[in-house]
Chains A and B, each alone.
Chain A
C-alpha cells in the first residue's frame, strides 16, 4: 500500500521536471539559437512478488507470481539540436550556421561553443559576442573598414570605401559526433563532455559543419504550440498521479477503520 504512495510520488516528480523543462523552453522561445530540451523517462525496476506456493487439488503449482513496478525515473534531459528558423537582420556581423557546426569563443580562458551568431565589435575592433567574449580565431576589424563581407565558406573580408581589402580571416566551425552530449552552461554556450566527443575543427562548407549566412540569425527551435500541448499533458498527468496518492490514502484510512 505504501508502495502505491511512493509510485505516484515518482510520477508527480517526473511531471514536475517535465514542467520545468517545458517552461525553460517557453522562456527561451525568443533566444537566438536556443535548442529546446526534452525530458526522457523510463520505468523503474520491478519487484518480483510470488504468492506463497499455492497448490491445486491435483498437486500442481499455480503460477501466482506477480511483478509490481515501482514508478518512473528520468533518464535524461536531452537537448534537441534541430535547426531553428532564420531571421534576416541585415547586421554585418550576424551569422547563422546552416549545418551542425558551432562557433568557438573564449571566455575567461575557457573555450566554449555556441550557435548564437549575434556578434559585434569591442573597443579594440575584435569580433565578440554579446557578452564580450572573442570569437575564435580572434580577428580585429581594421578601423577604416566600411564593407564587411562573409561568404558561405567563412572567408571574412574587410574593405574600405574604395573596395580595397584591408584584412581577411578564415572563420572556422567545430562539430561534435554527438551534440546531444554537450553540456549547456547558459549564455547560449556549450562545453564538450566525454559523451559529446572532442570538437572537430573545419572550415564552413566542408564536412558536416555547414555554411555561414551573413546578415541572418538562427532563432530558437522551440515551437510554442508543441510546448503548450506539453503543458496540458503534463498538468493532466500530474493530476492523475495525485489521484493515485489520494486513493492510496483513502484505502489506508479504510484499513485503519477495520479496528474499532
Chain B
C-alpha cells in the first residue's frame, strides 16, 4: 500500500475550485442584497464516487447549488403598484421567451395602462394581461383588482409542487425547467403597497465568506505540503548521507 501524492493534489484543487465557486455565489448574493424578490443561493457538497474502472475509484466531492426560497422581509412602500405575496406563490409574467415567474412585485403601467414589470414584460392575470387604466387601483388579498370601483380581473398567483424545478433567469425571473406543473396557489395574500425584499442576510454571507477564505488557505497548505514531499522525494531519497 502506498500513498499516491497526486490524489491529494487533485482533491485539494477540487476543494479550492469549489470554494471559489462558493465565493462567486456569496458575492452574487451580496450584490443582490437590495434586489426585490431575490432568493439567495447556497451550495451543498456531497461525497461522490469517481471511478475510471472497477479497480480504480476514489471518493470525491460534488457540488449542488440550491436556491433558498425562504420569504424575504416584506417592506411597506406605499406605492399602489407594488405587490408582495404573503405565503407561497409567484406572479406570472409574459416575456418574449415565454411565461416566467417572479416574486418581485414592483410593477408599473405601460402607455396602454397594462401592468408590466420594469423590463416591460406583461404581468398576467386570470384572463391574460391586466389592464389597470384608472385613478384608484386597489387589489384585495386574493389578487382581485378593482379599478375605479370596477372589477378588472385577478392577478394570477401560481405555485409548484417542487420549487427546485424553478431555474433563475436573471431579471428577478424564474423559469420552470423540471417536472412540476403550474398549480393555482392557495393560502396566500397579496399585499398592495408592500414589496418583498431580498432574503439575503449580510451577516450569514460575510461569515460564510470568512469561512471559505480560511478553507482556501488550508488547502493551499495541503498543496504546499505535498510539494514539500515531492521535493524530498526528488532531492533526498536515495542520497546516502542525508
A178 touches B213 (CB 8 A): no
Q: Is the CB of B202 within 8 A of A237?
A: yes
Question: Do the beta carbons of A1 and B113 come within 8 Å of each other?
Answer: no
Task: Judge whether B216 is part of the interface by a CB distance below 8 angstroms.
Answer: yes
B108 with A78: CB separation less than 8 A: yes
- Whether B108 lies near A64 (C-beta < 8 A) is no
CB neighbours (8 Å) of A4 from chain B are 20, 23-24, 26-27
B78 A15 Cβ-Cβ under 8 A: no
Shortest Cβ gap from A139 to chain B (Å) = 27
Q: Contact between A177 and B34 (Cβ–Cβ < 8 Å)?
A: no
Nearest residue, chain B, Cβ from A192: B111
Check A45–B170 contact: CB distance below 8 A. yes
Residues of B within 8 Å of A10, CB to CB, are: 31
On whether the beta carbons of B109 and A178 are closer than 8 Å, the reply is: yes
| Interface flag for B163 (CB, 8 Å) | no
Q: Are B172 and A43 in contact (CB under 8 A)?
A: yes
B67-84 CB mask vs A (1 if < 8 Å, else 0) is 000000000011101000
Interface of A is mostly: mixed
Contacting chain A: which of B45-53, B138-146, B152-160? Answer: B45-53
Q: Give the contact-size bracket for chain B.
A: 35 or more
Are B23 and A76 in touch, CB under 8 angstroms? no
Which has the most chain B C-beta neighbours within 10 Å: A3, A7, A257, A260? A7
Note all chain B residues with C-beta closer than 8 A to A187. Answer: none
Cβ–Cβ contact A247 & B109, under 8 A: no
Number of interface residues of A (CB under 8 A): 69
Contact with B along A216-257 (1 / 0, CB 8 A): 000000000000000001101100110110011011001101
Give every chain B residue within 8 A of A144 (Cβ-Cβ).
none
Q: Which of B35-43, B180-188, B232-240 contacts A (4 or more CB under 8 A)?
A: B35-43
Say yes or no: A254 contacts B220, CB within 8 Å: yes
Chain A residues with Cβ under 8 A from B21's Cβ?
49, 66, 68
Does the CB pair A180–B108 fall under 8 Å?
yes
Say if the beta carbon of A197 comes within 8 Å of chain B: yes
Does B57 sit within 8 A of A, measured CB to CB? yes
How far in angstroms is the closest Cβ of chain B from A49?
8
Within the complex, the shortest CB–CB distance from A155 to chain B, in Å, comes to 22
Contact A67 B65 (CB under 8 A): yes
Q: Select B28's contact among A40, A57, A68, A254, beta carbons within 8 Å.
A: A68
A residues in contact with B220, CB < 8 Å: 254-255, 257-258
Query: How far in angstroms is the closest Cβ of chain B from A23?
Result: 16
Contacts of B113 in A (CB 8 A): 177-178, 197
- CB-nearest residue of chain B to A251: B216
Q: Separation in Å of the A204 CB from the closest CB of chain B?
A: 13
Which A residues are CB-close (under 8 A) to B64?
63-64, 66
Q: Is B104 an interface residue (CB 8 A)?
A: yes
Q: How far is the CB of A76 from chain B (nearest CB, A)?
A: 4
Neighbour of A236 across the interface among B31, B43, B81, B202, CB < 8 A: B202
**A99–B27 contact, CB under 8 A?**
no
Q: Is the CB of B32 within 8 A of A178?
A: no
Would you call B242 an interface residue if the criterion is a C-beta within 8 Å of the partner chain's C-beta atoms? no
B38 nearest CB across to chain A (Å): 6
Contact flag A41-B27 (CB < 8 Å), given A177-B113, A197-B111, A258-B223:
no
Check A7/B27 contact, CB under 8 A, given A43-B172, A82-B78, A181-B111. Answer: yes
Please measure, in the bound complex, the distance between the C-alpha atom of A195 and the C-alpha atom of B118, giving whole angstroms: 11
B28 touches A71 (CB 8 A): yes
Q: Chain B nearest CB: distance from A41 CB in Å?
A: 4
Q: Which of B79, B135, B172 contacts A80 (CB 8 A)?
A: B79
Q: How far is the CA of A45 from the CA of B168 in the complex (A)?
A: 8
Closest 4 CB pairs of A and B: A11-B31, A208-B135, A69-B28, A197-B111
Give 29 A-B contacts (CB < 8 Å), ordered by A residue.
A7-B28, A14-B34, A38-B77, A40-B106, A41-B34, A42-B35, A43-B172, A45-B169, A46-B168, A49-B21, A56-B48, A57-B49, A57-B54, A75-B118, A78-B106, A80-B79, A178-B110, A178-B113, A180-B108, A197-B113, A240-B30, A241-B30, A244-B26, A244-B209, A247-B210, A248-B23, A251-B23, A251-B216, A254-B216
A residues in contact (CB < 8 Å) with B: 1, 3-5, 7-8, 10-11, 14-15, 18, 38, 40-46, 49, 51, 54-57, 62-64, 66-72, 75-76, 78, 80, 82, 99-100, 177-178, 180-181, 194-197, 207-208, 233-234, 236-237, 240-241, 243-244, 247-248, 250-251, 254-255, 257-258, 260
With A62-B48, A71-B28, A178-B109 given, name 12 new contacts (CB 8 A): A14-B31, A42-B171, A46-B168, A51-B63, A54-B60, A75-B171, A177-B112, A196-B111, A234-B34, A248-B23, A254-B216, A255-B16
